[in-house]
Amino acid sequence: MQLSGPSKWLLRLGTALTLAFLYIPLLVIAIYAFNSTRVQKWPPVGLTFDWFSRALHNPGVREALWTSVKAGLGATAVALVLGTMASIAVARFRFFGREAVSFLVVLPIALPGIVTGMALNSTFTQVLGVSLGLWTIVIGHATFCIVVVFNNVVARLRRTSTSFEEASADLGANAIQTFRYVLFPLLRSALVAGALLAFALSFDEIIVTTFTAGQEETLPIWIFANLSRPRQLPIVNVVAVLAIILSLIPVWIAQRITAEPVAAGAARAEAGGEAGA
Amino acid sequence: MHLGLLLSGPLGWLAVAYLGSLVVLFISAFWQLDEFSGEIVKEPTFDNFRLLWENDVYRTIAFRTIGIAGLVTVTDAILAFPIAFYMARVASPRVRGLLVVGVLMPLWASYLVKVYAWRVILSEDGILNWALGPLGIHGPGFGFVATWLVFSYLWLPYMILPVYAGLERIPDSMIDASGDLGGRPGLTFRRVIFPLAFPAVVAGSIFTFSLTLGDYITPQLVSSTQFIGNVVYANVGVANNLPLAAAFATVPVFVMIVYLLGARRLGAFEAL
């Protein structure tokens, strides 16, 4: 579409304002992390790196970070296995209820967090009678992390031809050998990307976590609990910045791993479409 | 590979454990709390639902929650359009790639930290009052407006990305044809681009609506207003009335089922 000069500039302005809106809050917290006083008044009066070392030596922060890492790794491992199984079933087989499987995978993130949290909480405490702890956090997180692995792997499987797997079977490989030597290498980067995103999702989650954690404290729960303690806020600021960085690193890497093949694949599909026409 | 084996794991987890839990939630919504002993009586009654419907406070909270979810959804749809349009139809491929990452990153940055950031920004001594002060304006402070603002901020990327994808899928030929037939850009936008991108807006709205419906952290941190999530959380924790909490938690489920059915009719699932 031919846009006039002024409307192009208006769109540019709108884009710039939206990006500013998205990033300013994150920047404000990053600046407060270096604030030399305990009082959160704008503008900050001085700069210090003190809070970083204090936060890193805070036993509560360390313990919460470790709990978050354990929960994230556990949930990622479960999501990786179940997500891969579901994606191969959906992308490589035709069966009654295939759509239902895709729907079921998405459901835990499509439903509001309190619903998933409440449902798991009722089941754990009322039906199974188990005490809440790290295991229940892992179960809750894995449930909504499956979709991330599933989406990445399904997208990859749809782009790869089944002829490799067929050739492997023709040459006498059994299902496990075909997965190990043919499918797995094709899926590797999609699996890594899915795992990184699943970890990031788990690392940040708080709503389902508050219903399944019991006495355990993950990093978001630690932040939440300390928001009401004014003396702790400088340390909260530092932890907040670390939480942003720790959740963005996996996403950034995942983006780098998958972006290029996706873009290249799309470009190729477009070129093919044009050639065909 | 054997289909049954492949499905056993994920279905065992999602259909048995997760759907099973949802069923438990639904059943426990009909249980009662014995007022004297504080024990849960596992006999089905409609008392929880009757209380939620007849009690003014709960009814207001339910409608307020649905109302803000709608408000946030409309706000995000309006805010998302300019940047999504720029990304899809104006920007060069390189800039487009950078913008996608630029929108994706805040989506993944820690949820709680973003809410906390707004709590700091909106506080009395915060940067907003400092910036607006010279103009003689006072920021909204904590309250309903703050909740609306923060929700709109939190879920905006969830709207931008599907709308961008929807706008990008519109064939150039459609837009060219409208121009060739004498449609000015404004008319082309209203009559061609917007209708074609609408399913993508509905797809994005599933996230903005559902995420607002189930949140209790944001209202708690930037207001003292009660939403469904706050009542559910309070009844699981402090008040310890699990059946009532379960009954109230079924409200967002039914709202979402109706919403998803409507979204499917509008073609949102093809746009996801």
The domain that contains A240 carries what CATH number?
A: 1.10.3720.10
Domain count for chain B, please give it: 1
Per DSSP, the three-state class of B29 is coil
Tell me the chain A residues in contact with residue B210 when contact means C-beta distances shorter than 8 Å. Answer: 110-112
Q: How close A46 comes to chain B (CA, Å)? A: 16
CA angle B212, B217, B218 (to 5 degrees): 60
Q: Do A28 and B127 touch (CB under 8 A)?
A: yes
Helix (H, G, I), strand (E, B) or coil at B41: strand
Q: E strand or H helix at B33, and its extent?
A: strand B32-33
Asked, for residue A13, whether it belongs to a domain, the answer is: no
| Domain limits for position B149 | 55-271
What's the CA gap between A86 and B3, in Å, rounded? 10
**Cβ–Cβ contact A28 with B under 8 A:** yes
For B209-219, write each residue's pLDDT tens digit.
999 998 999 99
Query: Per-residue pLDDT for A263 more than 60?
Result: no
Cβ partners under 8 Å of residue A153, min gap 6: A83, A84, A87, A88, A91, A187, A190, A191, A194
CATH number for the domain harbouring residue B234: 1.10.3720.10
* Residue ranges of A 55-74 with Cβ closer than 8 A to chain B: none
Distance, C-alpha B73 to centroid of its chain: 7
In tens digits, chain B (272 residues) has pLDDT values of: 688 888 999 999 998 889 999 999 999 999 988 877 778 888 888 888 998 899 999 999 999 999 999 999 999 999 999 999 999 999 999 999 899 999 999 998 889 999 999 999 999 888 998 888 888 888 888 999 999 999 999 999 999 999 999 999 999 898 889 888 988 888 888 899 999 999 999 999 998 999 999 899 999 999 999 999 999 999 887 777 889 999 999 999 999 989 988 988 888 877 66
Residue at A204 is within a domain: yes
Whether residue A87 lies inside any domain: the answer is: yes
Residues of A in Cβ contact (< 8 Å) with B218 = none
Let me know if residue B262 belongs to a domain: yes
Q: Indicate the burial class of A71 (C-beta count within 10 angstroms; 0-12, 13-18, 19 or more).
A: buried
Contact A144, A109 (CB under 8 A): yes
Q: Specify if B13 maps to a domain.
A: no
pTM metric for this prediction:
0.89
Residue A255 is nearest to which of B101, B109, B179, comparing CB atoms?
A: B101
Q: Does the pLDDT value for residue A218 go beyond 90?
A: yes
Preferred mutation among A115, A132, A138, A210 to probe B, highest tally of B CBs within 10 A:
A115
Q: Is B95 contained in some domain?
A: yes
Q: Which two tokens stand for residue B88?
A: 């899809």
Nearest to A62 by CA among A252, A239, A230: A239
- Structural domain including A131 reads 63-259
- The answer, yes or no, to whether residue A183 has pLDDT greater than 70, is yes
Q: Is the pLDDT of residue A266 over 50?
A: no
Confidence band of A259 (pLDDT split at 50, 70, 90):
low
Give the separation between CA A41 and CA B165, rounded to whole angstroms. Answer: 41
- Residues of chain B positioned with their CB less than 8 A from the CB of A243: 110, 112-113
Give the model's pLDDT for residue B165.
92
Query: Which ipTM was obtained for this model?
Result: 0.89
Q: How many domains does chain A have?
A: 1
Q: In angstroms, rounded to a whole number, what is the distance separating the alpha carbons of residues A115 and A133?
A: 19
Examine residue B12 and state whether it is found in any structural domain, yes or no: no
Phi, psi of B41 (to 5 degrees): -95, 115
Give the tens place of pLDDT for each residue, B32-59: 888 777 788 888 888 889 988 999 999 9
Tell me the per-residue pLDDT of A13-69, one tens digit each, with 9 for 90 and over: 999 999 999 999 999 999 988 888 877 888 888 888 888 888 888 999 999 999 999
Residues 115-144 (B) with a CB less than 8 A from some CB of A: 116-121, 123, 125-127, 130
Q: Is residue A175 part of a domain?
A: yes
Say how many CB pairs under 8 Å bridge A and B.
256
Within a domain: residue B31?
A: no
Spatial separation of the C-alpha atoms in residues A199 and A68, rounded to whole Å? 10
Mean pLDDT rounded to a whole number for chain A: 87
Structure confidence at residue B272 (pLDDT): 65
